[in-house]
Structure 1
Amino acid sequence: MRAALFQRFGACLRLAALVLMSALLGQAHAAAPAPPAVRFQDALAALKSGDMARYRALASTLQDYILQPYLQSAYLQANLKTATADEIDAFLKRNRDLPIAAELQRAWLLELARRKDWKRFLATDTPAYGGTLIACARVSALEATDHKQEAVELAKRLWLVGYEQPSSCDPAFDLLRQDDHIPADLVRARLLLTLEAGNPRLARYLSTLLPADQQTVAKRWLEVYADPGKLRRLDIAELGGGQTAAQVVTAAFRRMGRKQPADAHALWAKLEPPLKTHLSDTQRYRIARTIAVFAAIDGLPQGERWLAELPPAATSHASREWRARAALRKGDWSGLLASVRAMPHSQRGRDAWRYWEARALLQTGDIAAARKLADPLAEKFSYYGFLAADLVQRPYAQGPQPQTDDPALQQRIGGMRLARIALALHEADQTADAGAVWRELLRRLTPRERLAAARLAHRQQWAYGAYAAAAQSPGRGASALTFPLAHWTAVRMAARSNDLSPDLVLSLMRQESAFQSSVCSSAGACGLMQLMPRTACWIGKHTDLGSRFCDRRRLSEPGVSIRAGSAYLGYLMERFANDVVAAVAAYNAGPTNVSQWLADPALRIDTPRWVATLPFGETRRYVQAVLFNRVVYAQRSKQATQTASRELTLRLSDLLGPVSQ
């Protein structure tokens, strides 16, 4: 009992000590308020949650804080429906140099449109504020202020597109109506545009807006668009004749050429002679070019020949490149030489085609000519520069290196208002706004000043700021500025958990997001590793990461994005038997596509050829960029852990395999 009494007494003493400590800490906290960046974040959170009392209390302590305009902008955006013109105008006048000014003005224009305050809308509107929503509101504003002819002309421009417009444009299109109908000539014109744009669903809807006596012809347009083979039994006059019929035929064959190039080629060979007098040379060339290009993209063996048979007037930048890729895919080195030499000088002189011309010369026995092309290319700090260096067995170039540090210049850049705001936004974890202000700053700086800005951002451990500035400066080569070891601890831990090289994770991160944690693509991929939310969710559920990764907002957290992206890359490495190139391609294009592209084992032996002939241009560029990053980061990570030679030691040939002879 005595022991229990002492135990309770001891607990009371501990509780009293905790109370006293809390009181002392509370006094210390009252004496030393949280840093401005923390109070700024708390104020934004209070505003978002609707806790206006807390917001006002925090905002009152930040009147002199450099990010006060961002707090005020957030408040105005949240209260646009009750904002006054004087409040908006005063803010815009004070902060015209900040990107948020344009954002607020755009939002204010839409609010004025909602209020139907058309005079103020036109007074606030400028041509710089584009976008469909504002353009459609501009139509209503012009009409309401007795500028009907201008309104009609703008409405026509908005109507005559091959895609759907938002419903907020309906009032603008109502202005085009005559006797409760959009004029038939405008409907027909837009219907043809939708066919050319490959939007048959919208075309079907538009056909219902035509007068009954014109719907029969429109129905034939849609039938021919869906199946050009119907032209074998159809008189072209039944499509309306003239340029209209020619547009329908061209759109129909180009659609078929994209989807079924072999069938389209056979059908076009039969129908081109009788259709020749109805179509212009330009239209016939577009049809033949589309069929041949997509035959090459699909890997049809006859694609190279069809492209080679195109008359010079029918070729394009894309058709010439795909003729070369088709030869490359087949290992037709003589055909590749002919294809590259048929390119105009500006195209032939690109790094990719200089390298492949050198390879073709080497493969056909002209070693001296191959060396003459490859030697100068090997001096470039690029993917194809590294490939050329492998070809002639030379050290890799390291690119332009940063000049001697200039502390005085850095201090001057650091004192600029935009620089101070960008760095403060970075400190407050407002990464999207920080990036926008930083880019505006860089736009105003000279190349030498950008290098100073890069060093300034690097000192603040802002990877994106350093990278974005250095990439536009004289110091674009392999350095800590352009290849920062961003989030290095988290990267190493995630890489180790998924049997990956940390260099590979960083290489993807650099290409995916340029180290911007809150950036989202137009497709919806978010975060440092640019994962689609459904992919992150799938990875979370199939690993020990858990379902919390299903929350899209969490992908903007660096740690979450790095863990989820590394787990997904680890899954792809396992799926593709530790084939780094295939896994990287799948990270961009999806594993199903890559499995199909790996179907040709003979081509896969020569990995550079496989990469250069991938059907998706975005994936080709992506894989090349990541592999280039990987080689550079291999050296950068060594420099972070030990003294290393300046020469890059990992070779592209280590990742791609030796060049086939």
Structure 2
Amino acid sequence: MPDVATPIVSSRTGSSTIQPNTSVRPGPSIAAPDSTPAAQAVVLARQAMNNKQWTQLSNQIGPASGDILGIYPEYWYLRTQIAAANMPDTHQALMRFLKKNEGSFLADKLRGEWLLHAARSGDFITVLELSPVLNGNSQISCAQLEARHMTAQRATVAEATKVFAPVGACWKLFDQLVADKVLTGNELLPYLQDFIENNKVTEARRFAAYLFDSNDLATYDAMMRDPQKWLAAQSGDRSTAVNDIVAIALARVARTDLNKAEELVRTTWANKLPRLNLQWVYGQFASLAVFSFDPRAYGWYRETFGIRLSDTNHAWRVRASLRQAKVDWGWVQRSIDQMGLPQRNDPTWVYWKARALAAQGKEKDARQLYESIAHHFNFYGQLASEELGRTIVAPEKPSPVTAEEIEQARQHLGLRRAVTLFKRGWRGDAVPEWNFALRGMTDRQLMAAAELARHEHIYDRVVNTSDRTSKEFDFSQRYIAPFEGRVTAQAREIDVDPAWVYGLIRQESRFIMDARSVVGASGLMQLMPATAKWVAKKIGMTDFTPQKVNDFDTNTKLGTNYLSMVLADLGGSQVLASAGYNAGPGRPMLWRSKLDSTVEGAIFAETIPFNETRDYVKNVLSNATYYAALFTGQPQSLKERLGQIAPQPYGRANAQ
């Protein structure tokens, strides 16, 4: 049976350009010139820093001071001196830098690095004196909490669990809180179980050491060496700790042989383990089975009701339910209700709970939930709007950004530094510098900063900056369409929806022409080298060389052609083709073949087993819907764009 084709409100015809919502013309770039002696000193300092030539780095601090980036060489040098912060001269130099550059990104960064060094050496007074750090992270939060705890402000369980991540300062915090009996078995066992679930055995071992006494820890270690052999040797009565270890052993066996683990439970352990342990084991079986669409996953999840699950397993318990030929909407609702409050309030689960309520005839309650997320400009906000009978349109334009507002942005020291970093090719430094500069900005200031980024052709910052506004929304920025005539021409040439292409580029590269992923994908449309070569051969691009993959016309021509090929191979479904573009065409073919019945596109998208691809598909289709509204000026439907996906036997893709 072929896929149910996706009916789309087309943006192929009658499209208009997305014009900036301002008449202010771009001025000259605010980037500082890179040819001055001071700018060259910054370059030399950077080279010295990268080569760990600290004397040469120190020698460039004075000559670099006249450049807008002159703060960087001094920061690079001082961070190497933090270990000597207790020496008077070094301490004074660090404090002088913080005072002189107060409010800057680098002063805040140096403050955080100094704070972490102080925490590692047990100097908790200095940790508190250096707080707060504006651009914090888990390491800093854990160090600050430990410092408060060690200076007579006893930490609580809630504070500790809120900040924990498996990083150095947090391990140090937990070491102390376990020793002080702030954290006990009730709080520690879930961490151990979740790390086992995620196959993080090193982290799990640390929590086992927190949780078990020396004898039980030796038992745990023996089990981890050979879980199946260890299980076979178990007999007699068991303590609570050993029952927990038995459950972990069954989960470890399941990771390598799920059928064997299921047999062990059925023949030996179903009547020996306490119910709570057994339910957790079933949850582990389900978490392994669900990603291969093993039909047993749903039944195992039904056995877990009432126990604590990880956030990941809570989510997959609902997703497994949504994939059933006949969805038990009451079970979907109850499963969502058992999530923790932050997860339950995520628009994903608000939407699916509303769907569950509506399916049970509770329309008033469902509408209240839809209304609570319909204002979100994302996948589930759009779907909620449609459930309320509304179509998808761009919001009303805000008042245009004025020349005065843009001039204020042009004078912002943090933005000027960031733009200079971008223009000198130091994106890794530029992005955090830019983001730090946005702190505390009003909607008007954010839109002015986004417009400045447009003037500077830094298109990813246009999108990311405008996305931060909370009351005024400029979709000419959020859904910017640079190079529109050229991209649209490429798309129309092969009859591909330009709105979809733009939705994909926005997600793939944020319009960074030389973007390169960690796996080697390149350019606006993030093509892998082998894919680019293969497509070039298919379409007869005889002059293609790997060096051309970042060239605008080459990248978009190859990318749109590849997208068209994937779309054709996958029955015209933009859901499947978007998934195929991200994960390879064979993957959505496999996932489609595992369906028991036709499902709506939203369910297929939500139950994609790869986190990255699942989010990618939802974002691309949401983006495309807004681009279509902007290009055509007509109301759109995400539900129509998603369509339905029908089962089809797995077949080999015609595209790579």
Taking structure 1 as the reference length, the TM-score comes to 0.64
Determine whether 1:253 maps to 2:250.
yes
Please point out which of 27, 30, 43 is paired with 1:71.
43
Check 1:283–1:378 CA distance in 2 against 1; reply closer, same or farther (3 A cut).
same
Determine whether 1:656 maps to 2:642.
yes
Check 1:129–1:376 CA distance in 2 against 1; reply closer, same or farther (3 A cut).
closer
What is the 5 A alignment of 1:268-417? 268-272=265-269, 276=273, 286-310=280-304, 312-330=306-324, 331-332=326-327, 333-396=329-392, 398-399=394-395, 401-417=397-413
Question: What RMSD, in angstroms, separates the aligned Cα atoms of the two structures?
Answer: 5.1
Please point out which of 435, 440, 448 is paired with 1:439.
435
Check 1:405–1:309 CA distance in 2 against 1; reply closer, same or farther (3 A cut).
same
Return 5+ residue gaps in structure 2 as ranges.
Answer: 1-27, 84-88, 95-108, 122-165, 167-192, 205-217, 647-656
Return 5+ residue gaps in structure 1 as ranges.
Answer: 1-34, 41-58, 113-118, 139-162, 164-191, 204-215, 639-643
Matched residue SS, 2:593: coil
Matched residue SS, 2:475: coil
2:576 matched residue in structure 1: 582
Check 1:251–1:126 CA distance in 2 against 1; reply closer, same or farther (3 A cut).
farther
Per-residue Cα deviation, 1:361-386 (whole angstroms, up to 9, x for no partner): 33344444444443454344321122
Contact 1:77 1:107 in 2 (8 A): no
Distance 2:269 2:402 in 1: 68
Check 1:401–1:39 CA distance in 2 against 1; reply closer, same or farther (3 A cut).
closer
Distance 1:513 1:485 in 2: 13
Distance 2:197 2:321 in 1: 30
1:266 matched residue in structure 2: 263
Shift of 1:637: 2.6
Quick check: which has more Rg, 1 or 2? Answer: 1
Determine whether 1:573 maps to 2:545.
no
Letter in 1 for 2:484: W
Percentage identity across aligned positions? 23
How many pairs align?
A: 521
Shift of 1:195: 8.4
Check 1:77–1:320 CA distance in 2 against 1; reply closer, same or farther (3 A cut).
closer
Distance 1:485 1:286 in 2: 49
Distance 1:196 1:304 in 2: 17
Distance 2:596 2:74 in 1: 54
Contact 2:250 2:261 in 1 (8 A): yes
Check 1:517–1:246 CA distance in 2 against 1; reply closer, same or farther (3 A cut).
farther
Check 1:96–1:445 CA distance in 2 against 1; reply closer, same or farther (3 A cut).
farther
Letter in 2 for 1:224: D
Shift of 1:631: 0.7
Contact 1:295 1:302 in 2 (8 A): yes
Contact 1:341 1:348 in 2 (8 A): yes
Shift of 1:482: 0.7
Check 1:467–1:236 CA distance in 2 against 1; reply closer, same or farther (3 A cut).
farther
Please point out which of 45, 59, 62 is paired with 1:87.
59
Shift of 1:394: 1.4
Check 1:260–1:100 CA distance in 2 against 1; reply closer, same or farther (3 A cut).
farther
Letter in 1 for 2:639: S
Distance 1:194 1:480 in 2: 44
1:624 matched residue in structure 2: 618
Determine whether 1:224 maps to 2:226.
yes
Shift of 1:287: 3.6
Check 1:80–1:217 CA distance in 2 against 1; reply closer, same or farther (3 A cut).
same
Check 1:73–1:82 CA distance in 2 against 1; reply closer, same or farther (3 A cut).
closer
Letter in 1 for 2:622: F
Determine whether 1:470 maps to 2:457.
no
Determine whether 1:509 maps to 2:509.
no
Please point out which of 536, 541, 544 is paired with 2:540.
544
Shift of 1:90: 4.2
Contact 2:443 2:469 in 1 (8 A): yes
1:457 matched residue in structure 2: 453
- Which structure would you say has the larger RCO, counting Cα contacts within 8 Å and 6 or more residues apart? 2
Contact 1:540 1:549 in 2 (8 A): no
Check 1:463–1:572 CA distance in 2 against 1; reply closer, same or farther (3 A cut).
same
Distance 1:94 1:242 in 2: 70
Distance 2:644 2:622 in 1: 16
1:233 matched residue in structure 2: 232
Shift of 1:505: 1.5
Distance 2:416 2:581 in 1: 37
Contact 1:402 1:475 in 2 (8 A): no
What is the 5 A alignment of 1:90-239? 90=62, 104=76, 128=112, 198=199, 224-225=226-227, 228=228, 230-231=229-230, 233-235=232-234
2:602 matched residue in structure 1: 608
Shift of 1:567: 3.1
Please point out which of 59, 62, 67 is paired with 2:36.
62
Shift of 1:633: 0.5
Per-residue Cα deviation, 1:500-528 (whole angstroms, up to 9, x for no partner): 22211211111122223344334443433
Greater Cα shift, 332-341 or 539-548: 539-548
Distance 1:456 1:573 in 2: 37
Shift of 1:634: 0.9
Greater Cα shift, 506-515 or 265-274: 265-274
Contact 2:29 2:456 in 1 (8 A): no
Per-residue Cα deviation, 1:377-433 (whole angstroms, up to 9, x for no partner): 434432112212222321336458544423223212202333334445555666555
Per-residue Cα deviation, 1:217-273 (whole angstroms, up to 9, x for no partner): 999757625xx3x34533489xxx999988975655334434554543332344446
Higher helix share: 1
Contact 1:224 1:249 in 2 (8 A): no
Matched residue SS, 1:393: coil
Check 1:517–1:218 CA distance in 2 against 1; reply closer, same or farther (3 A cut).
same
Matched residue SS, 1:472: coil
Per-residue Cα deviation, 1:286-328 (whole angstroms, up to 9, x for no partner): 5442222333333333423322322534333233322222221
Shift of 1:597: 0.5
Distance 1:375 1:126 in 2: 44
Letter in 2 for 1:495: A
Contact 1:377 1:388 in 2 (8 A): yes
Contact 1:289 1:310 in 2 (8 A): yes
Letter in 2 for 1:496: R
Distance 1:244 1:426 in 2: 55
Distance 1:351 1:654 in 2: 20
Distance 1:607 1:336 in 2: 18
Contact 2:195 2:201 in 1 (8 A): yes
Letter in 1 for 2:349: W
Check 1:447–1:405 CA distance in 2 against 1; reply closer, same or farther (3 A cut).
closer
Shift of 1:569: 1.7
Taking structure 2 as the reference length, the TM-score comes to 0.64
Contact 2:579 2:617 in 1 (8 A): yes
Check 1:354–1:75 CA distance in 2 against 1; reply closer, same or farther (3 A cut).
closer
Check 1:559–1:109 CA distance in 2 against 1; reply closer, same or farther (3 A cut).
farther
Contact 1:380 1:397 in 2 (8 A): no
Distance 1:595 1:442 in 2: 43
